[in-house]
Each structure stands twice: as structure tokens, then as C-alpha cells.
Amino acid sequence: MPVSPFRQHHRDDDALAIALAASDMSLGDQSPFLAFDDSNLYDNSLSDSSHMIFDFDDPMPYETKPLMSWDSQDYGLSSSVSYFPGSPESTSSQLDYGASHLPPHDRSFGSGMLGSYNDAPQQQMPEFNYSHWLTDPEIPLPPMSSAPIDIPFPPSHSSAASSFAAHSDNSSIFPDVSLFSPTTAHAALQPLPRSFSPGQDSVMGTMQSHTELSMSPSDPSLSPPMWAAQLWASSSPPQRPVHIDVSPIPRSPLADPAYDPHATQRPRTRTHSRRSFPPVSDMFQSASAPTMSPMHPPLSRSYSRRAESSSEHDDRDATVRKKKRSLVADEEDHRPVDKGTEAPSKSMLRPPKLAPSAWQLYFTDWIQRHQASNHKKLNVAQAAKEAGQEYARLSSEDKEPYRRRSQAAKEAREREHAAYMRTLTPEDIKRENAFRTAQRKAGKSRRGNIKDPNAPKKPLSAYFMFLQRIRSDPELVREVFGDETETTKQSVLAAAKWRSMTDDERKPFLAQAEQEKLEYEAARKMYEEGTTGYSSSINFSILPNSPINSIAFPSSSFLRPVKQEAAGSESESDADDGADRRHGRSLA
């Protein structure tokens, strides 16, 4: 049944609070690569780059060493934090994440770890073999270079008044819309075409008055997403001016759950990128970043097996389950495309490797232990079998240290990966997706495209809004899905329900979708113009407390032959009567 809009206005605040909380949480996202600003970069505060996203166990970094001005410094650092899978004893010491990450440099070095496993002379730096696994969440972080922008909570007036205002206004295009989203509720106060910030000092105010700034939208009529509007609008009372030139990161924490004040202000263009962050670029260039330079053709052995697999090995038919691969001559490999616009023949991405699982940590320990006591070469398959059996026999407590190390590594890797993804320019992503698309079309891979984490998310369609609505309400779940728990079958049921609904019943969802689409378009436009620091990857409609949950749902009772057929009514306002009435009821 319809939910009172009264609740909803509190939800507006809730949504903001959630978003703030999310942004707050992301403060903990302490990847060193997020700490960039120019000063940091140039005064070699890379000191913390011990959270390596480099793949040191690859031969290449050594070969390319001369390209890296920071190498010696960082190598030293990395070794100091390199994690050594030592004995179980040393392992358990890892429980203390404080300083315990420092490896016992004694026998670990001597045994040469897995490096010596193959008698190859890669003792050059055996300790780097696992540095990419290294994760130490507690390595001291560099001082924050920029303070986060204070985002005030929305003023209380944004609550009750707005939706009522919208309701009393029948000329509104989407009469019901204010009920559905926090952004739309605010939109009621500040409709799209209007100047959305009362403060002259607001970011957008500044931008609009300096349209020639590279960071400002070229189209002054362009409105930001409503959430953004609210953001600055709500800062009115004690006006807290936010100038673009003051804040290096003109993005809204509210807007982006992944917001991180330490975050790199991601360069929008390649050239800008290279110019602004040479050390970073070099770093990524050498290890994790897309290989840009034609001087460095793809290596025969990639840095990352994962990356490699996404490129060179994508022709494994195993990855293609149902595609009937047309056996057309594979002509795409004949020309090593580097046109930029065309699909490259290889993936340029070098994301950080996966963190080792508890098992993997155990296994490397195992290998090392056996290597120390047994000079014969081990058969890896045999070793895995034996170690696997031993691992299976371990008690939960015995596994715990490994689990914890794995967990720490995983978290760090996650941060690294997120940081890495944020460093990708739209061009990088375009190129990679072109590659993946080509691979898919050739039947060589099924991997999906990657998404720009900085770009605004596509809005949900009306039907998906509808799905959200159902999933958000256990009662509706029961009503529509019955006992069906499989999501795919639920989709079928929901689709049937959707099809059975009248236009009037769909109206609120359509309106909501329409509204979010507008906001998305605005956000996208800003993003594409490179003006945005705020990219909302947040989708308000899916937040737990989203007002979408309050959309009146056409319950079975509602579906009974209702007289409100309003058949011929094609005008917006007429067609919305049903929804209005429903909300009206709940209001009364």
C-alpha cells in the first residue's frame, strides 16, 4: 500500500546521510595513489607507494627500470614491506598488522622463496616475488594535502515543504516525481532550468561566470544534477564558498560514494594526465597503467597474468560457452591496430593482480618450507596435491592467520584496483572496451566492458524502478514473486506483472525514470565536458532508504477493475491522476 510521503522527507535526509556516510567511509580508502596532488607528487611523497600496484615479479620492471626515476627509492621501500610467506610462525605474527608485515629477513632471504624453486637466477630480487601481494593497511599515510569539502546536511526546509509544493502545482510536468527521489524533492525547490545555487560563490556560480575556464561547462544553460544543486543550495545559511581554484577536487562527496579527498583528480585527457602527474604516469606506465607508448610494444609476457589472459589468451574457446564461433578467418590479428579509435589487438590494461587467497598463502609457505628442507625440485602439481591435503586438515584456527593475511591483501588490492581504475582516462576505457567488444564479436571472449568508475551511472529504466520497488518491500516480494527465490525467474514474474499494468499504474515509475534520466543526462554532460569532479556513481533509487520504496504499488487490490480508467486522458496531468490520488489517499 502507498506509503505516506511524510516518511519520505526524512528519507531525503537519510539518503544524504547515507551518501555522506559512504563518502566518509571512503576516507578510509587510503591508497597512496589517492593522495595525489601536485605538491605531493613532486616532493617525492611517493614514500607511501608501498602499496604497490606494480608487478615486481615480472621481469619487465627491471628492464624498464631506467625509465623510472623513482625506482630505487621504491624498490627499497617495497622490500621493506614485502611480505614473506614464511613459516607458520612468521605467519601468525602477521596477525599483528602493525609492524609485523616486516618480514623476518633472516631465513626468508636465504631460502629464496619460490624464486629459488626454479633454479633460475631471479634472485636478483627474490623478495619482490610477492610484493604485489603485499598489503599493509597500516602503513603511515602521507598527510592529507587537501581538506575535504564540508557538505552540510540539507536544511530542514527541504523536507516537508517541497513535495507539497510539487503537489499543489498541477502544472508540474511530473506531479508525482517529488515523491520519489531525494533529488526530485529538491528539484521541486529548484527546478532544473533555474540557477541552482543561490550562493554566488558556489562552484557552479563560479563556473558559469567563467565559462572560458576549462573546467566550466561551455553551455551556461546546463544544469547540474539535482543532487548537486541541493548540495550547494543547502549550504546557504553559513555560506561556505567553494571555489574551484581553491579546492583541487571539485567533486561532491555526496555525489560520489567513492569520493575520496585523497583521490587523484583524475586527468581528463591523456596529455593532461601525462603533464600533470608524470611520476604517476611513469609508475603506471611501467607497471600498471595502460601501455601508451608505441616505443613499448606489448610484451611477450605480460605483467599481469590476468591482463594477459584478457588479451593474449582470450582465444581460449573455453571462455566461450554458447557462441557458435563463426569460423571466419581471423583477420583482426593481422594488423596491429594502434589508431586509437580502432580496437587494439591487445589489452592495454595492467590492473593490479588479485590478492592471494588464504590457500595461496599457505601454498607458497608450503613450497618454501619444502624448498628449504629439500633441494630436489618439486613437482608443482604434486606439491599442490600434498599441500592441499595438508591445508584441508588444518583446523580453522590454523587457517586463521592465512585468512587474515589474505583478507588484508584483498582489501589493499581492492583499494589499489579502485585507484587504478580511477587513473584510467575515458580514452583508456574506450580503447579497452573497443578491444573487448572486438574480442566478443570475434567470439574470443565473453568479457564485458569495463565501466568508468568516475562516470555517472546509467539511470534505471521505469521497469527497473519497478523491480526495485518490489525488491525493496518484502510484502511486494511475496505478492509478486510468491515463493520464487531465483532472481531469473523473479524477473519473469515481474515482467509479467509489469506487462499487466496499466499506463496509469506505471506512471510513477515512468516519471521517476524520466527524472533520473534528466539528472543522468546533466551529469553525463558535465562529465563529458570534463568539468566534473563529481561523478555520481551513486544511484539514489537503489539506496535502502530510497524514496522509490514509497512509490505506490499497484497491488492486486489496486488492479481490480478500478473506475479510474480515465481512458482517453492523454495529457500528462490527467494521466497522473491515478498516482496523485493514491498519494493523496496516503496523505489523508
Q: Which of residues 98-127 bind DNA (CB under 7 A)?
A: 114, 117-118
Decide: is 460 part of the binding site for DNA (CB under 7 A): yes
Sequence-distant (≥ 6) Cβ neighbours of residue 265 within 8 angstroms: 36, 37, 248, 249, 533
Q: Provide the grid cell at 412.
A: 589493499
Decide: is 391 part of the binding site for DNA (CB under 7 A): yes
Decide: is 17 part of the binding site for DNA (CB under 7 A): no
Residues 410-429 that bind DNA (CB under 7 A): 410, 413-414
Q: Provide the grid cell at 159.
A: 523536507
- Least CB distance to DNA at residue 252 (A): 18
By CB under 7 A, name the one of 257, 279, 356, 547 that touches DNA.
356
Decide: is 492 part of the binding site for DNA (CB under 7 A): yes
By CB under 7 A, name the one of 468, 515, 532, 535 that touches DNA.
468
Looking at beta carbons only, is 229 or 510 nearer to DNA? 510
Decide: is 355 part of the binding site for DNA (CB under 7 A): yes
Judged by DSSP in three states, 255 sits in: coil
The conformation of residue 285, written as its DSSP 8-state character, comes to I
Decide: is 129 part of the binding site for DNA (CB under 7 A): yes
* Contact yes or no for 454/422 (Cβ under 8 A): yes
Residues 528-587 that bind DNA (CB under 7 A): 539, 542
Q: Provide the grid cell at 128.
A: 619482490
By CB under 7 A, name the one of 305, 369, 430, 581 that touches DNA.
305
The conformation of residue 17, written as its DSSP 8-state character, comes to H
By CB under 7 A, name the one of 105, 243, 316, 335 that touches DNA.
316
Longest dimension (CA), the chain: 87
Residues 202-241 that bind DNA (CB under 7 A): none
Residues 510-539 that bind DNA (CB under 7 A): 510, 513, 517, 539
By CB under 7 A, name the one of 304, 311, 347, 532 that touches DNA.
304
The torsion region of residue 81 among left (phi > 0), alpha (psi -120 to 50) and beta comes to alpha
Which span (197-205, 250-258, 307-315, 553-561) binds DNA, by CB under 7 A?
A: 307-315
DSSP 450-462: P--TTSPPPPPPH
- Least CB distance to DNA at residue 201 (A): 33
* HEC readout, 298-360: CCCCCCCHHHHHHHCCCCCHHHCCCCCCCCCCCCCCCCCCCCCCCCCCCCCCCCCCCCCCHHH
Decide: is 488 part of the binding site for DNA (CB under 7 A): yes
Sequence-distant (≥ 6) Cβ neighbours of residue 491 within 8 angstroms: 467
- Least CB distance to DNA at residue 381 (A): 4
Taking each helix axis from N to C end, the angle separating 577-587 and 5-25, rounded to the nearest 10 degrees, works out to: 90
Looking at beta carbons only, is 26 or 122 nearer to DNA? 122
Specify the residue for cell string 611480505: 83
The CB density around residue 392, as the number of other CB atoms within 10 Å, is 9
> 367-386 mask for DNA (x: CB under 7 A)?
x------------xx-xxx-
- Least CB distance to DNA at residue 243 (A): 31
CA angle 477, 482, 487 (to 5 degrees): 65
- Least CB distance to DNA at residue 314 (A): 7
CA angle 108, 110, 112 (to 5 degrees): 70
Which span (35-43, 188-196, 277-285, 481-489) binds DNA, by CB under 7 A?
A: 481-489
Looking at beta carbons only, is 204 or 355 nearer to DNA? 355
- Least CB distance to DNA at residue 339 (A): 20
Specify the residue for cell string 604434486: 382
Sequence-distant (≥ 6) Cβ neighbours of residue 66 within 8 angstroms: none
Looking at beta carbons only, is 109 or 463 nearer to DNA? 463
Looking at beta carbons only, is 145 or 309 nearer to DNA? 309
Decide: is 462 part of the binding site for DNA (CB under 7 A): yes
Which span (233-241, 324-332, 357-365, 524-532) binds DNA, by CB under 7 A?
A: 357-365
Decide: is 359 part of the binding site for DNA (CB under 7 A): yes
* Contact yes or no for 134/83 (Cβ under 8 A): yes
* Contact yes or no for 221/123 (Cβ under 8 A): no
Residues 26-85 that bind DNA (CB under 7 A): 57
Decide: is 463 part of the binding site for DNA (CB under 7 A): yes
* Short-list 62, 55, 53, CA closest to 122: 62
Decide: is 461 part of the binding site for DNA (CB under 7 A): yes
Decide: is 476 part of the binding site for DNA (CB under 7 A): no
- Least CB distance to DNA at residue 532 (A): 16
